[in-house]
Amino acid sequence: MLGFLFSIQTTFCQIPAQIKPDTSFQSGLLSKVYLFTNPEAKKLIEIKVDTFYNASILEKVEVSDLLKNFSFAGQVPFLMEVSGEIVIPENRPYLFKLRSSDGSALWIDGKKVVNNDGVHKSTESEAEFDLDAGPHSILIRHFKKDPEPNKELCLSWFEPSKNGFEIIPPEFFRILKSSVRQAMNQVQPLSVPDLKSIGNTSEVLHPSLSKSVLHKKNFNRKRGRKNFRSEGSIILSRRDSLGKENKMSKPDSKAKILLEGSRLVGPSGCLACHKENDKVLGPAFRLVAQKYKSDPATVKRLVEKVYNGGTGVWGDYAMAPQSHLKKDKIEKMVRWILSLK
């Protein structure tokens, strides 16, 4: 009987592992705002920056006083830098348009693409640039020095399918989370001399300021002189509609704590990442107040969270530790935030 040996070869098809999404990025662009020390400057290259006092995330580059979506209510002069990456969908030339009130310029991959520099009212400049599909670094620098009330910065591109320009949609922008965390840690609260130099009015407050009621319930505010206190607070008006000075009533102990907490929020740097009613980098203060009860155990827990930092409650964005602040001051701020229900 003959024996036969069969050799069977089996070919295996190796299935590649699923590609994981890059979690080091988040959507949007990082906006950083600086004071600058030479208001006589008329070009971006002439600007000498000073205090970096505000950081926020822009979903898209379309901010203006008209839309009321500036993350800060800063007075002129200021320099804004918007940075991150733009993810290009296909290889082709792209026509970009940059609109601003006073000077601005757009860089992609370190090359200046659009120049809209100088001191001017709302003006547009456009330029075409060849780009390959994929991510490219993007930087916009914009300064505002003219006291004209309208602040504006918009970036759009020509969309062939619509035969016209459109504001570049949010899905094409991304920023490294590490860059955002680094910016958060670098934000500096403005000093009293800084606030004086900005020239705040009672109608528009700088993000490093908070406004508190210090007068009687039926007090009718009349425009008056602004008094700076040593700790950084400002009394905007002390007179009624007839010009008569109104004596301030003494707050009770609870009201005093809330008042002190409201004063501490600005100088502490919290307003770089939070606003009372709107999300910036972190949640709005009113959302925090709605989420938590105002009881001693909750206050104590939130004080520790602010002091030590944390993540996971409001998404994957990390709040940097605020260990440079004393816990008794953090407690006053937490109590004030929780009172905003």
Cα–Cα distance for residue pair 264/328, rounded to 1 Å: 11
CB-based burial of residue 90 (10 Å sphere; 0-12 exposed, 13-18 middle, 19+ buried)? exposed
Q: Which CATH number fits domain 25-186: 3.40.50.2300, 3.90.182.10, 1.20.120.160, 3.30.360.10?
A: 3.90.182.10
N-terminal to C-terminal alpha carbon distance within the chain: 94
Indicate the pLDDT class of residue 98, thresholds 50, 70 and 90.
very high
* pTM recorded for the entire structure: 0.62
What sign results for the dihedral spanned by CA atoms 318, 321, 325, 327? positive
Residue 71: the pLDDT is 59
Q: Which range in 75-89, 263-277, 280-294 is most confidently predicted, on average pLDDT?
A: 75-89
Treating both helix axes as pointing N-terminal to C-terminal, what angle do 253-268 and 327-338 enclose, rounded to 10 degrees? 110
pLDDT beyond 90 at 44: yes
**What is the C-alpha R_g of the chain?**
26
Tell me: domain 250-341, CATH 1.10.760.10, correct? yes
How far, in Å, CA of 179 to CA of 65, rounded? 27
Q: For residues 73 and 298, which has the higher predicted lDDT (pLDDT)?
A: 298
CATH code 3.90.182.10 region(s) in the chain: 25-186
3-state SS, residue 126? strand
Phi, psi of 96 (to 5 degrees): -105, 145
- What's the rounded Cα separation, in Å, for the pair 311 and 294? 21
C-beta of residue 74 within 8 angstroms of C-beta of residue 206: yes
Per-residue model confidence as pLDDT tens digits over 217-236 = 454 554 444 555 544 455 55
Residues of the chain with CATH 1.10.760.10: 250-341
Compute the average pLDDT of residues 256-282: 75
Name 265's Cβ contacts closer than 8 Å, sequence gap at least 6. Answer: 210, 271, 333, 336, 337
